[in-house]
Amino acid sequence: MTQLSTATPLAPHPDRLFAADPGARAVARTVYDAVKDAPIISPHGHVDASLIADDQPFEDPASLLITPDHYVLRLLHANGVGLEALGRADLSGTDTVPPRRSIWRTLAEHWDDFLGTPVRYWFETELHDVFGLTEQPSAANADAQYDHIADLLASPAFRPRALFDAFGIEVLATTDAPTADLAAHARLAADPTFTGRVVPTFRADAVFDPSGSDWRHVVASIGEAAGIDTGTHDGLLAALRARRQYFIQHGATATDTGVLDAGSAPLSASERSRIHAAALSGPEGVTAAEAVAYRHDMLYRWAEMSVEDGLVMQLHPGVHRNHHAPTFERFGPDTGHDLPAVGSFTEPLRPLLESFGTAPGFHLVLFTVDETVFSREIGPLAGFYPAVYAGAPWWFIDTPAAIGRYRAAITDSTSFTKTSGFIDDTRAYCSIPARHDMARRADAAYLASLVVTHELSEEDAVRTARRIVSDIPKATFKL
């Protein structure tokens, strides 16, 4: 007697994320079909350029798909799985990294803990479309699926550059420290066999907060990289300008900044120089109020530099980084416990926008994890200031439902052209096409809702969808 398989099929529905109403669903199909195969523009992400430059085979399924993805880590951790069991190095030396196959089994055993989340959605698309799996992961099939993916990763078709082409990536932006030598970017740019485009993004968060334990080290290292003495505030600004130019020479079009709040009140030259000098004596050299004032002034200076050199300024305040100190001390950053804070932009950014909000060529892309500010602040700001662009839903709100809410909240104030295009914000390389496909489907569903209520024609919806995945991110990020 033949034993029937009890495995649950893995078969993402072709109409996923589209409305149940037949009319709206038909329009959404038409809109999605117009963009489903369009090249991917990824202007904000965290894939390491050396991954593509070196083009070495991926080591194993777990280190590719689980360990680097903080979206995956946080949900498994929330369901009782220790980070040490997921491949994160234990800085305390208490635990060693388990076998990679064991990490994959852990994911499979906890597969239903992801139900209803965008992580499950991305994973299903990724496992089916990229790796050809036809069963949902489970304890019963974990080893077989691990072996299947491992065999694929050993083949030339699954090396990083081959996947770059297979995914249809046109532009991929990385995120890089201000002292980075950008050697991998230079190698890719000089390689005639690589036809894609990988550009660096300047990220210098640590320089903003003089109360940080690593601030003095960061300031000194930036000076060393630029060949400029950063013992004075003017010297630091000069060194940052020099490093920004270095990034521009290597293809950068943007900076990225994550700070606790969007305050941007400038200080006098004498006051910021005084605080800088005091902070060089150690974190105890400045008061909490002085550190905040210095950070706000630095945000103002950042905009000033962007007006000068043309780099797009991405800003995402309102995140409590490394919320759980014991986890940070044991496993380091990017381990799933960056948590949302209440967002605010209109008043905090007023000093910056009064000076630069109408400056020709200045682009300020605002991101948030507090979606209440989309309709209340970000949309209206982008609907007046030429410089302001409404960044896509990000981190906790890059979900299908939140993308629809974002479009409804933003479009009334600023339509589509003053937005960013989709932001995948990922370290998990193979999730890139799944995440962009999700956004294209969510946008197709939203545009279809406007068509069936006769707010847009179907032709306008198709044209807008094409712009959202191409013209708009290219224009916003000067690509």
- Per-domain residue ranges for the chain? 71-158, 200-315
Which helix (H) or strand (E) segment holds residue 463: the answer is helix 458-469
Tell me if residue 172 falls in helix, strand or coil.
strand
Give pLDDT, residue 257. Answer: 97
Q: Along the 479 residues of the chain, how does pLDDT read in single tens digits?
A: 344 456 899 999 999 999 999 999 999 999 999 999 999 999 999 999 999 999 999 999 999 999 988 889 999 999 999 999 999 988 888 878 899 999 999 999 999 999 999 999 999 999 999 999 999 999 999 999 999 999 999 999 999 999 999 999 999 999 999 999 999 999 999 999 999 999 999 999 999 999 998 999 999 999 999 999 999 999 999 999 999 999 999 999 999 999 999 999 999 999 999 999 999 998 789 999 999 999 999 999 999 999 999 999 999 998 888 899 998 899 888 888 888 888 899 999 999 999 999 999 999 999 999 999 999 999 999 999 999 999 999 888 999 999 999 999 999 999 999 999 999 999 999 999 999 999 999 999 999 999 999 999 999 999 999 999 999 999 999 99
Question: Residue 270's pLDDT is what?
Answer: 98
Question: In angstroms, what CA-CA distances link 448 with 233, 381, 418, 454?
Answer: 52, 26, 20, 10
Residue of 156, 164, 334 whose CA lies nearest to 258? 334
Query: Quick check: pTM over 0.85?
Result: yes
- CA triple 347-391-428, angle to 5 deg: 135
How big is the CA angle at 320 (ends 208 and 252), to the nearest 5 degrees?
50
Q: At what angle do helices 458-469 and 432-452 cross, to 10 degrees?
A: 160
Contact 443, 473 (CB under 8 A): no
3-class state of residue 87 by DSSP: coil
Amino acid at 447: L
Sequence-separated (6 or more) residues with CB below 8 Å from residue 264:
296, 299, 300, 303, 348, 349, 350, 351, 352
Residue 6 has a pLDDT of 65
Contact predicate 25/15, CB 8 Å: yes
- Between CA 56 and CA 241 the distance in angstroms is 34
* Residues in Cβ contact with 149 at an 8 Å cutoff, skipping those fewer than 6 apart: 61, 65, 131, 133
Fold of 71-158: uronate isomerase, domain 2, chain A (1.10.2020)
With CA atoms as reference, report the closest residue to 36 among 460, 454, 448, 438. 438
Residue 53 · residue 188 · CB < 8 Å: yes
Phi, psi torsion values for 473, nearest 5 degrees: -65, -35
* C-alpha distances out from residue 371 to 165, 316, 344, Å: 34, 12, 11
Q: What pLDDT is stored for residue 306 in this prediction?
A: 98
> 190: Cβ–Cβ under 8 A, 6 or more apart, which residues?
none
Strands 319-320 and 339-340 turn out to be: antiparallel
> What burial letters (b/e) apply to 305-338, b meaning 16+ CB within 10 Å?
bbbeeebbbbbbbbbeebeeeebbebbeebbbbb
Convert 206-243 to b/e letters by CB count within 10 Å (16 or more is b).
bbbbbbbeebbebbbbbbebbebebeebebbbbbbbeb
Distance, CA of 180 to chain centre = 19
Residue 179 burial class via C-beta count within 10 angstroms: exposed 0-12, middle 13-18, buried 19 and up: middle
- For residue 191 the two structure tokens come to 């390689």
